[in-house]
Amino acid sequence: MTDAILSLNDATLSLDGNAGRVDILKGITLDIARGETVGLVGPSGSGKSSLLMLMGGLERASSGSVMALGHDLTTLGEDALARFRRNHMGVVFQSFHLIATMTALENVATPLELAGAKDAFERAEAELQAVGLGDRVNHYPAQMSGGEQQRVALARAAAPRPDILLADEPTGNLDGVTGQAIMDILFGLRDRHGSTLVLVTHAPELAERCDRVVRLQDGKVLADSFERAAE
Amino acid sequence: MSLAIASRIARRELSGGLKGFRVFLACLALGVGAIAAIGSVRESIRGGLDREGAIILGGDAALQLTYRFAEPEERAWIDARAEAVSEQVDFRSLAVFGTGETAERGLTQVKGIDNVYPLYGAVSLDPAITLPDALADRDGRPGAVMDPVLIARLGIEVGEAFRLGEQEFTLTAALIAEPDSAAAGFALGPRTMVRTTSLENSGLIQPGTLFETEYKLRLAENTDLDALREAAETEITGARWRDKRNGAPGVAEFVDRLGSFLVLVGLAGLAVGGVGVSSAVRAYLGEKTEVIATLKTLGAESRTIFLSYFIQIGVLTLAGVGLGLILGAIVPIAFAPLIEARLPVPAAVTLYPMPLLEAALYGVLAALIFTIWPLAQTEDVRAATLFRDVGTAGQGWPRARWIVVTLALFAALVALAAGFSGLVSLTVWSAAGMAAAFIVLVAAAWAVRMLAKRIARLRAIRGKSAARLALGSVGGPGGEAVSVVLSLGLGLTVLAAVGQIDSNLRGAIERDLPDIAPSFFMVDIQPNQLETFRASLAANPAVSDVQSAPMLRGIITKINGRPAAEVAGDHWVLQGDRGVTYSANAPDDAVVTHGAWWPADYSGPPQVSFATEEALEMGLSLGDNITVNILGRDITAEVTSLREVDFSTAGIGFIMSMNPSALQAAPHSHIATVYADAEAEGAILRDVSNTYPNITAIRVKDAIERVSDVLAGIAAAITYGALATLVTGGVVLIGAAAAGVRARTYEAAILKTLGASRRTILTSFALRSAILGVAAGAVAIVAGGLAGWAVMTFVMDTDYFFEPVSAALIVSGGVFATLFAGLAFAWGPLAARPAQVLRARE
């Protein structure tokens, strides 16, 4: 794949735990094309979220390389990684991870502000309007439901119009109906901004909405629908 | 039933360890420890004064006379009642070393003794010779010993000669310890000790000169001191009695008052610690919300749950108080040699149960006051919390009954402190001040939050990520604003108040002096010296003014025929002897407010003009008769006028002035104030002491320095007390910062995910600390200033001036402390990998 926006080459991740060193990812090689939507699936503990963290530079690979937009994330320092994310990436988590001491508007405006956008608040407000929270801009996370908090998190991830959107089980903490609505918004945002979307999910119906599904097991890629299609 | 279950639940929960309670235990232990230590030292001094009462006093009892020795029949009366009697004479003089231009002069408090001195205790000399040896004649001159401070000041060495009045002495040793020095009270000059007999030719003890004599008595063991006192006071007119039960009443009272005041400062420390205690309990119960909800789901009643946590906090309180008591008991004992060395009075440092009990009661009450609200809020946790995230639970007001319980506990604490200290009004005012500071600080924390929230939303702040993050954090829900502003603010308020009082006290001495203060007070000027003395000074171009007045000293014994104390209580004018003068005409600057001055040639029955303010305080009015004992003779005079006396001018001011014929015949001397150029003071001192060896010149500058030294000592003791408060504040601050590490780590992880650099995050953390530090410091300046104003205005009865330097130091201290605590705990959050932090929260 020549125009890969994300490219992992024999990437491994080992972490030191109480029970000793654990190999979480074992030689992942994967290319993801610009504009592609990829679903990462697999049983619990298979390494899906860890792989997503590696792609976002939130975790550093123990060996191998992780290239994003031509940058090797394994060689960048903490601050360079932060700068890279604010310019090119948006991340959504299962537990939303909003800053409790900030209102919805402030949460969404923060990455824009960090990126130096002069119109951070105007754009943040527009993004909140787009996810249907135009009337909750001044509410704090604790004053919102789980679904509303996840919509704020989505708006926050999408507001800087990132090249890459990473979502780690964004509906995992939500009921079916709310989860469905969140996914509609997520895919809508992705379509609107043309971002590449990598989505970790347990739900087969969500994975089916992706262009491509990568199945992980025991830290390795077990199956890749792209490769199957290529064959 | 519920108590048994609650105890079991409490035991199970406590078995999880005390990890979250380090700050709780430290705050309580420090607060209780400081109070226990202060109380123990105070008790040690009391114990020392009691144990060595006879040594401190120099006898089992002492009779003091002003201006005179006991008459032969009085002495016989004393001798008949004591196993041994030591006669001492005490007065101020100038010690002169050398001659001519290079002579050195130093003000000294001379003590003349007999062969029997000391009845109790021992004098310690360097070289280690006996006192009789030291005072025996050397080189044809009587021997003398001197305080090392005076030896250094004069530059004299052992074996050299010096002069007191007209008598030369040989310095034979340095006076290292004088057993009865504490009983002597405040002295302007260091001690010189000689034989009384060797003073005969000094010209210093003449009729009318200012001296005091004291007769120290060794009594049979079973002597009825009260009966002897009564008899002595009847038999010997004007005699003042002291006995070993309270050998140094001034010192004992001073130690009691200072100790009690320091305990109040310690209570402020306990209040600061209370904030930490409260925060720790809140944090602990916050983590237990799920446990409480689960217990409720399983059928536990609110009462059972409340009791369970009450027992847990109770056990921890006892542990904290216990630690504090151990600290408070051990520290004074461990530092006993240091404490004893620095105190001018003996201290019996050992374990005293009463101050420990006092500190324990304060600790338990304070812990109850500060934990009852968070504990009460366990009642509001609902089982539904398990299914819904109720982030704001436990933030509101508790139920009314808990507010009543808290107020009752607070009242009990204040009542206890008032009872123990005996300083009822000071305690009540301090408590009110603390409560007010508390309310002001909570209000300030709220205002800071609101302001931060508002500023964070200003257009101008947009784009300044670090500033907005900091402001958002201070203004947002669940922040640390209240606990930080409260704990640091309270600590800084105490320190600011002490700073303001300290600098105002120091400043008051200089400020309250008139623009042109006299250079010298000259005392013991004999009537036959007055004219030439005045003339020689008037001829000196460096002298701008000399004022003089006749001076006698007397004790007011009766008012309208009744004992004076019955009429005017313990007014200061009645405590000890007072200066009395006489004058045919009203002085030029006198303002007669009531009645009229006697005619210049008046020679009828004695009349007295009394100082207006003091007369009104004592309930005196025109026509009243006051009896003043002067030189053993009672003079009864009618109050015929009241006049303003301004003691703040540092000039000559007398409470009582009589018509000349009432006093003129009595032996007396004159006092003078000399106004001169500062650079001429040395020469004037030299001339006067050379020409009139009997005249004692007290340099005003030296006297002020001596008073300043005493005040500085008191201020230092108070500052140490306040520092204990600040240390507790520091622990609370560090506790708050440590408790916030988890939240900061999480926040830093999110911010890194959103693209924030570590510099931005660190700046934001530093800014929020600085905002809270400035807020706490600003409130501390206002609250401390108010406290300083109240103390200076109502207690010290002087003007208050805001002192900006210590205030600025307080604010910078506050900012630095919060910055330090905040940043010290920022490295962990900054270094943490976002993925691990965020996944731990999934």
Does the pLDDT value for residue B513 go beyond 70?
A: no
Cβ contact, residue pair B479, A94, below 8 Å: no
Residue in A84, A87, A102 closest to B476 by CB: A102
Query: Mapping DSSP to helix (H, G, I), strand (E, B) and coil, where does residue B292 land?
Result: helix
Question: What structural domains and CATH numbers belong to chain A?
Answer: 37-55+83-230 (3.40.50.300)
User: What sign results for the dihedral spanned by CA atoms B187, B192, B195, B201?
Assistant: negative
Residue B637: predicted pLDDT: 94
Share of chain B above pLDDT 70, in %: 93
Going from N- to C-terminal start, the domains of chain B cover 1-53+250-422, 61-222, 424-514+702-842, 543-676
| Residue positions counted in chain B | 842
Q: How far is CA B57 from CA B50, B193, B244, in A?
A: 11, 17, 6
Chain A residues with CB-CB distance to B841 below 8 A: 95, 97
Cβ contact, residue pair A100, B391, below 8 Å: yes
**Residue B740 touches chain A, beta carbons under 8 Å:** no
Chain B residues with CB-CB distance to A120 below 8 A: 462-463
Between residues A38 and A21, the one the model is more confident about: A38
Chain A residues with CB-CB distance to B456 below 8 A: 106
Residue B360: predicted pLDDT: 95
pLDDT-based confidence at B595, cuts 50/70/90? Answer: very high
Q: Which helix (H) or strand (E) holds B162?
A: strand B161-164
Lookup result for tokens 């002492």:
B62
Cβ contact, residue pair B477, A100, below 8 Å: yes
Chain A residues with CB-CB distance to B473 below 8 A: 101
**Residue A75 touches chain B, beta carbons under 8 Å:** no
Q: Min CA distance, B763 vs chain A (Å)?
A: 13
Q: How far is CA A88 from CA A73, A76, A121, A158, A189, in A?
A: 12, 15, 19, 10, 15
In chain A, the DSSP E strands lie at: 4-17, 20-33, 37-41, 63-68, 71-72, 89-92, 164-168, 196-200, 212-217, 220-224
Interface test with B, best of A58, A86, A121, A145 (most B CBs within 10 A): A58
* Cis amide prior to B127 (ω within 30 degrees): yes
pLDDT-based confidence at B842, cuts 50/70/90? Answer: low
DSSP state of B138: B
pLDDT in tens, B241-260: 888 887 777 777 777 777 77
pLDDT in tens, A64-111: 999 999 999 999 888 888 888 888 999 998 888 888 878 899 889 888
Cβ contact, residue pair A99, B757, below 8 Å: no
pLDDT in tens, B78-124: 999 999 999 999 988 888 898 877 788 888 899 999 999 999 888 99
Does the pLDDT value for residue A214 go beyond 80?
A: yes
Q: Min CA distance, A72 vs chain B (Å)?
A: 17
**Residue A82 touches chain B, beta carbons under 8 Å:** yes
Residue in A58, A98, A113 closest to B835 by CB: A58
Provide the b/e sequence for A192-224 (b: ≥16 CB within 10 Å). ebebbbbbbbebeebbebbbbbbbbeebebeeb
Chain B residue with minimum CA distance to A49 = B839
Chain A residue with minimum CA distance to B744 = A99
Cβ contact, residue pair A99, B472, below 8 Å: yes
The token duo for A27 is 């030689």
Lookup result for tokens 């009828």:
B604
Between residues B570 and B620, the one the model is more confident about: B620
Does the pLDDT value for residue B158 go beyond 90?
A: yes
Cβ contact, residue pair A101, B835, below 8 Å: no
Distance CA B33, CA B79 (A): 50
The token duo for A132 is 């249907």
**Residue B742 touches chain A, beta carbons under 8 Å:** no
Mean pLDDT of the B363-374 span: 92
Instruction: Tell me which amino acid residue B791 is.
Output: V
Q: Min CA distance, A130 vs chain B (Å)?
A: 20
Chain A residues with CB-CB distance to B479 below 8 A: 101
The token duo for B785 is 């200033």
Choose among B129, B111, B245: nearest CA to B178.
B111
Cβ contact, residue pair A110, B839, below 8 Å: no
**Residue A224 touches chain B, beta carbons under 8 Å:** no
Q: How far is CA A4 from CA A32, A35, B162, in A?
A: 5, 10, 103
**Residue B460 touches chain A, beta carbons under 8 Å:** no
Triad B442, B279, B404: Cα angle to 5°: 65
Q: Min CA distance, B474 vs chain A (Å)?
A: 8
Cβ contact, residue pair A120, B475, below 8 Å: no
pLDDT in tens, B501-510: 878 877 766 6
Cβ contact, residue pair B747, A99, below 8 Å: yes
Does the pLDDT value for residue A53 go beyond 70?
A: yes
Does the pLDDT value for residue B195 go beyond 70?
A: yes
Does the pLDDT value for residue B736 go beyond 80?
A: no
Query: Mapping DSSP to helix (H, G, I), strand (E, B) and coil, where does residue A178 land?
Result: helix
Q: Min CA distance, B459 vs chain A (Å)?
A: 9
Does the pLDDT value for residue A228 go beyond 60?
A: no
Interface test with A, best of B753, B759, B839 (most A CBs within 10 A): B753
Choose among A62, A67, A53: nearest CA to A21.
A62
Residue B393: predicted pLDDT: 43
Distance CA B772, CA B159 (A): 65
